[in-house]
């Protein structure tokens, strides 16, 4: 675990925010889920419980955090380190959107290691949603839109 200690600028001091080790990997592909998948509290609890039951630390392929579920190609060799396990991708969500007690799944990502293993944003999303017995098809996934050209920038 990594501990962050922010330096306050005249505000209250916040301590103890801990990030999960090995939680950040640069995505090779990212797709937006549109329309977003909105899960009620019961469905989101089912999803998180299933992810916890299939956690990488107990022989599973998933690692659930506060904002996503990561998909790995196998369990971690050690309790807090992936060893040779390969991070394939993740599904991101936000809590209490659109209203309290709901979770909105808005993005699926695949790492470069996931692409090498044949994963897609759809397969990563399906791996995670299968935990809660929710079927997902590719009609919900759209590639992220590139930024539009700045009309005030001169072209050479």
* pLDDT tens, residue by residue, 107-126: 999 998 999 999 998 999 99
Q: Calculate what percentage of the chain has a pLDDT beyond 90.
A: 33
- Give domain status of residue 47, yes or no: yes
pTM for this model (two decimals) = 0.71
Cα end-to-end span (Å), the chain? 48
Domains of the chain: total? 1
Is 124 within the bounds of a domain?
yes
32-78 pLDDT tens trace: 887 788 888 888 889 999 999 999 999 999 999 888 999 999 998 87
CATH number of the domain enclosing 65: 3.30.310
Q: Is residue 142 a part of any domain in this protein?
A: no
Q: Please indicate, yes or no, if residue 38 is contained in any of the structural domains.
A: yes
Q: Identify the domain containing residue 29 by its residue range.
A: 25-134
* Per-residue confidence (pLDDT) for residue 101, from 0 to 100: 78
pLDDT interval class at 31 (50, 70, 90): confident
pLDDT at 154: 59
Q: Confirm whether 156 is domain-assigned.
A: no
- The answer to the question of residue 45 being in a domain is yes
CA distance 23 to 68: 10
Residue 13 has pLDDT above 80, yes or no: no
**b or e along 87-122 (b: 16 or more beta carbons within 10 Å of the residue's beta carbon)?**
bbbbbbbeeeeeeeebbbbbbbbbbebbeeeebbbb
Average pLDDT, the chain: 77
Q: Which two three-digit tokens encode residue 119? A: 């994963």
pLDDT of residue 86: 92
Q: What are phi and psi of 90, to 5 degrees?
A: -155, 160
């Amino acid at each position: 675990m990594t501990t962050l200690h922010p330096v306050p600028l005249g505000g209250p001091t916040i301590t103890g925010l801990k990030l999960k080790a090995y939680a950040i990997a640069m995505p090779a592909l990212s797709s937006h889920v549109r329309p977003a998948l909105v899960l009620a509290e019961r469905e989101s609890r089912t999803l998180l419980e299933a992810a916890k039951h299939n956690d990488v630390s107990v022989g599973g392929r998933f690692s659930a955090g506060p904002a996503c579920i990561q998909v790995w190609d196998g369990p971690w060799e050690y309790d807090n380190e992936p060893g040779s396990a390969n991070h394939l991708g993740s599904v991101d969500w936000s809590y209490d959107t659109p209203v309290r007690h709901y979770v909105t799944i808005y993005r699926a990502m695949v790492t470069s290691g996931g692409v090498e293993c044949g994963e897609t944003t759809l397969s990563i999303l399906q791996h995670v949603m299968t935990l809660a017995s929710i079927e997902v098809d590719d009609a919900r996934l759209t590639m992220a839109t590139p930024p539009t050209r700045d009309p005030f920038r001169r072209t050479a």
